[in-house]
Amino acid sequence: MLIRDYLKTHKLIMDGAMGTYYSKLVNDESAIAERANLQNPEIILNIHKEYIASGAKLLRTNTFVASKEILEITEAEQRKLIKAGYQIAKEAAESSSEEVYIAADIGPIPENAESEYEDILSEYKVLIDSFLEVGATIFLFETFSDIKYIAPLVKYIKQDKESDIFIITNFCLNKNGYTKSGLSAKRLLEEIRDIKEIDAVGFNCGIGSGHMYQILEGLTFPSNKYLVSAPNSSYPEQYQNRLVYLDNANYFKDKMQKIAALDINIIGGCCGSTPLHIKGLDTMIDMQNHRVLSEYSADNIENIVTEQRKNEFYEKLKSGKKVIAVELDPPFDEKYDKVMECAHQLKEHGVDMITMADSPMGRSRVDSILMSLKLKQELSIPVMPHVCCRDKNMIAMRSGLLGAYINGIRNILIVTGDPVPSERKKETTSVFDYNSIQLMDYVKEMNKEHFSEEPIYYGAALNYGRGLIDKVIERMNKKIAAGASYFLTQPIYSDEDIDRIREIKSRVDTKILCGIMPLVSYRNANFIKNEIAGIHVPDDIVNRYHMDMSKEEAEMVGATISNEIIEKLNPFADGYYFMLPFNRVSLMDKIKID
């Protein structure tokens, strides 16, 4: 009987944890169960059989952690491990006198700042192809935090429209009902409702059965999907450098009985659960399915349109008027008077936005968001803190963005961030858990989830001189897809770079603020030319300075060069982004902008 036919009349008991149970059996918390598919298949077979003996009728293959990076294996070895995992589960299922279903289990492939979407997607397809080659007809994506990979992958799996493949998608929540990508359970269910290739949706891992019940109780479920719940047995405790889960099988089963009563169709366990947590569930809960699926129609969904409050900076930019943004560097210490004075002068000058750098050059300064708030609250001036990926993990980043939002920040510049200087790498560790595009995707989701009435508008860096122009444009389009509303460029000096920006502007439908940095001395010009990657300062620019120039003379040369560049950029620039060396805001008096 096909699983979808079984679910029309029955609830289905799924197995419990593999990874934590395997670690417990081999007495090694660091052991990766998936390696045992090839190294010790008998123990995996026995675990599957234990779950079957405890009443499980849906087994998950021992393939949740199957990424090449984690296992340090080749693609050929990866395929072999996947197929072995499926065959072991199949052998266990065939040993049972009752029908047992097998789900091809796929967990999230780890990502970092160097990850490319297409590479990750390709690796998922390798996993899928390996399962299809051994006859898998049920796929389970579990512990995911969003649908950016799931949406294309389920279409890939069901390319054959006549296929009987059944797809389950489970997401991992925290006790507040959100994934690590910032999506709520409610939002995820709404998104999955619209994806016809997905047959069942639910939640696993992250939380215990008590919090799982509380979250599920408050949700409205899509009427066109079967529902799944597989919480952890409990929250783990640290004991003698080991994670220990409570011995609470009876409590777990009591809670799962309540969860099943919410018309959940597939019931199982995740981290910390064992065959004891599954044993007897089939007799404790009403195994009859009382939930009848209905066809989903978008016509039945009420569309609520939220009117967004206008963002003055973006509205001016969108109108075609040139905007002026000026970058200031936060102080290195508690003395902020100079920055406040500079900001006040810029306000008097009529600039549209002050941007606040985020510890440029990887050297610690006052937090860009907090310094921006200081300016905004005391001077009532529009601010745009730079937010880089170097220093914070996603927990700290989300906290900072929420804090910025409730204090009125509505514009940010998202950048990957300068690396930590090599001489400080021993004492300072870069995070880089994600890159600027991944962070943009995250803020895009926060805008939908939390800030829909007044979203955060965010800009992106345009490193126009890196490689082939087609590659530059390709990366720009990725940032636009991730929600970037405009781009700020690196400082521009050469005619060649002006031509590149002109071509980019002609090929990409977006707003570009062209970077202008007046060089203020011969030494400053040489430093930027020779030590700052990504900025091209031609010799003829450097040669306009000399060592014995006065400060005033050098600044005038810098302003003159900037005015010449602005005149060339003016026909196509949407605005200008000024970076003033050493926060010399008086330079703005010498700049001419039509």
Q: What is the 3-state secondary structure (H, E, C) of 339-393?
A: HHHHHHHHHHHCCCEEEECCCHHHCCCCCHHHHHHHHHHHHCCCEEEEEECCCCC
Neighbouring-strand partners of residue 166: 138
Query: What pairing do the DSSP bridges indicate for beta strands 266-267 and 12-13?
Result: parallel
The phi and psi torsions of 436 (rounded to 5 degrees) equal -65, -35
Consult the annotation and say whether 342 binds a ligand.
no
Amino acid letter, 223: S
CB of 449 within 8 A of CB of 443? no
Pull the structure tokens for residue 78: 């990866």
Provide DSSP, 46-98. HHHHHHHHTT--EEEPS-SS--HHHHT--HHHHHHHHHHHHHHHHHHHHTSSS
CB of 400 within 8 A of CB of 409? no
CB of 511 within 8 A of CB of 574? yes
Consult the annotation and say whether 388 binds a ligand.
no
SS3 251: helix
Pull the structure tokens for residue 464: 């126009």
- Nearest CA among 461, 443, 460 for reference residue 452: 443
- CA distances 578 to 376, 435, 513, 515, 532, Å, are 19, 24, 9, 6, 17
Angle of the 41-53 helix axis to the 19-26 helix axis, nearest 10: 120
Which residues make Cβ contacts (< 8 Å) with residue 545, sequence separation at least 6? 519, 521, 522, 525, 554, 557
- Nearest CA among 486, 397, 406, 407 for reference residue 438: 397
CB of 148 within 8 A of CB of 441? yes
Consult the annotation and say whether 271 binds a ligand.
yes
- Nearest CA among 332, 334, 327, 435 for reference residue 372: 327
Point out the annotated binding site for Zn(2+): 205, 270-271
Point out the annotated binding site: 205, 270-271
